[in-house]
Structure 1
């Protein structure tokens, strides 16, 4: 005799909750392992790798949608809280290198999109977001709303971060730079009231951006609102590390779950495509960094680390470790980050419109990868 429908739904709900909990446990374990091994972006990459492997093996890995939405708001708020009045003033201090950086971004994106779409055979939405330099969490939020294949996007973006963090110090050494310095220790919000106020500003910004129907509104709105109040000096201090850790772990688990059902042949194809795209992006960055260094008189290594398409936090920390002016690097990455946060949603809406199918349901294996 079949169970009553309410009992069936209750049992299914308990199974979903159990898998949500198991997903988080696995994600924290993977993130903790990578962080303990001092891997780049360890909490994010470790949770992503652990959940992606489980998803590829057939486990029903998943993240509760409301939790994912809340994490986007927290990460956006945290990113905005890294902006200070000194950073804002710094953005106006280096007009030459800033101008060259602005010119480099469309050249880089056009070159990478052209390769991924015309040569590698990716769809234009996925190529567009995979080509966006840096700001992985923001790009993922926008990609989901625009119907891109987030598995392609996260693979390309994550691989780029890994390779840059692993190889850039040696590359800068080849340019004559001698590593020095220490890791940054930025002040945290001083009390609970300030923390709640900062988060409240982020929530308000996310609400307004979503009402305006911006793709990735939760992330973009919270980041911009938080950046405005912190940049104006109305609120001081970044969000605690624990907030970032939880956010990165949940985001990693969410993106890792996208690999469920993906064929190994497709992953191999992703690897080749992403490495070639990274080589193209790096070549464009180097060419424009050489131009910016020549025009401004700044050292090439300093300008290059400010131009490479890496994550804001990772590149700023690397600048501290390598003894390169972190304010210069952070200001340039924030300039690119804010510009992309404003323009990418508009360009995505202009060229792609609303997503015809949610990105979670995009099937990347309908077409076999090329030989």
Structure 2
């Protein structure tokens, strides 16, 4: 007689294994969020600027540098972008839209600032810090990180340097920009917006539904920053037209700020302290140069358009589209203005960097660095 084989559990189909993270990853996702909430709560209790966001970022980054495999589940990040975008769109009013007439001036000054900023940073990284030109070029790009990383890989740049420089820039800007705005005389209304919450359940569901729909359509269209920008545009249209009034409850915003901070801080996972010592000063100096250029052009743009300097500066600093738009929202600065400027720069970089990289560098199978480097890549 044949012996009956012990039945084995049927493995999950391939598409489900992609949707369901491993138990170990789920535990670390939960630990990351718990740590981020603790850090954000501490900073908020200490009345730090943008406390929920900056606190989550700082403690998560420290955990990542100590070797903890911190991270944020991708679909959680996507949902948070939609919630934040919906909330930011709710701050748009008919009065806000009347200020759009001044935007072309500041847009033109922003476009002029990008090549000046990149040339200045490339010169420093290549001539002073001793980086190769490929790595310096991609590290100098003020945004469009996904496009930059793909092209850096294909062009033979040291992608780890590029990721480190870009991540450090975003980290420093999110952590220190609220303090810098205070030094320029800008006083945010508080850690959270003060416009009224949606008055009833139907308004809440309608506002959230509009945001989800806008984010979904923008994601399907592969729009830059689609989940957040799409939901913000959709929410902004209905709020700007006066069809819906009020923002989402505070708890949604707090969760969004904490998850965003945790995601930014987790970019430092896998980065060794030796790597930090090697590249920290170079990347910090490059950030100082880029910020100085942004500040100079922000002075010009604010003067020409008769806009407040803090508002223009947040729109010009070399940060990521989503993070800087949310930072504007936290600081009580018009997020539509900031998002429009960062989106313009993002689209220009995403279109031109592949062409410029192929023209000047072509394709290369290995990094062009001649020095031995640590191959551990920071997580994007």
Superposition TM-score, scaled by structure 1 size: 0.70
Secondary structure, counterpart of 2:72 in structure 1: coil
Q: Deviations over 1:289-313 (max 9, x none)?
A: 44345545x48xx335522427345
The 3 A distance-change label for structure 1 pair 47 and 348 is: farther
Q: How far off is 1:37 after superposition?
A: 1.9
1:248 to 228, 233, 257: 257
Q: Deviations over 1:54-104 (max 9, x none)?
A: 233333323333222222222333333332222121121576455434543
- Paired with 1:106 and 1:227, the residues of 2 have a C-alpha distance of 31
Task: Please provide the CA RMSD for this pair.
Answer: 4.1
- Residue in structure 1 matched with residue 341 of structure 2 by the alignment: 336
Q: Deviations over 1:110-134 (max 9, x none)?
A: 54466557755574786266x23xx
Q: Which stretch has the larger CA shift, 251-260 or 117-126?
A: 117-126
Taking the TM superposition and a 5 Å limit, the aligned residue runs for 1:1-371 are: 6=9, 13-93=22-102, 96-97=105-106, 99-105=108-114, 107-109=116-118, 111-112=120-121, 115=124, 120=131, 123=135, 127=139, 131-132=142-143, 152-170=165-183, 172=184, 183=190, 185-292=194-301, 295=304, 298=306, 302-303=308-309, 305-308=311-314, 309=317, 311-312=324-325, 314-315=327-328, 332-340=337-345, 343=348, 346=351, 365-366=374-375
Q: How far off is 1:367 after superposition?
A: 8.4
Number of residues of Structure 1 aligned to a counterpart in Structure 2: 331
Whether the 8 Å CA contact 2:56–2:261 is kept in 1: the answer is: yes
Whether the 8 Å CA contact 2:121–2:136 is kept in 1: the answer is: no
- Paired with 1:365 and 1:53, the residues of 2 have a C-alpha distance of 20
Q: Deviations over 1:242-277 (max 9, x none)?
A: 212112212222333332221113223453234323
- Paired with 1:193 and 1:145, the residues of 2 have a C-alpha distance of 44
- Paired with 1:191 and 1:244, the residues of 2 have a C-alpha distance of 18
- Paired with 1:51 and 1:276, the residues of 2 have a C-alpha distance of 24
- Paired with 1:43 and 1:4, the residues of 2 have a C-alpha distance of 50
Larger Rg: 2
The 3 A distance-change label for structure 1 pair 83 and 107 is: farther
Secondary structure, counterpart of 2:309 in structure 1: helix
Q: How far off is 1:26 after superposition?
A: 1.2
Q: Deviations over 1:167-203 (max 9, x none)?
A: 4444x3xxxx6x7785462233333322222222222
- Paired with 1:30 and 1:256, the residues of 2 have a C-alpha distance of 12
- Residue in structure 1 matched with residue 363 of structure 2 by the alignment: none
Unaligned runs of 5+ in 1: 133-138, 321-325, 354-363
- Residue in structure 2 matched with residue 323 of structure 1 by the alignment: none
Q: Deviations over 1:298-329 (max 9, x none)?
A: 48xx33552242734545665x7xxxxx66xx
The 3 A distance-change label for structure 1 pair 273 and 72 is: farther
- Paired with 1:291 and 1:195, the residues of 2 have a C-alpha distance of 41
Q: How far off is 1:28 after superposition?
A: 0.7
- Paired with 1:6 and 1:65, the residues of 2 have a C-alpha distance of 28
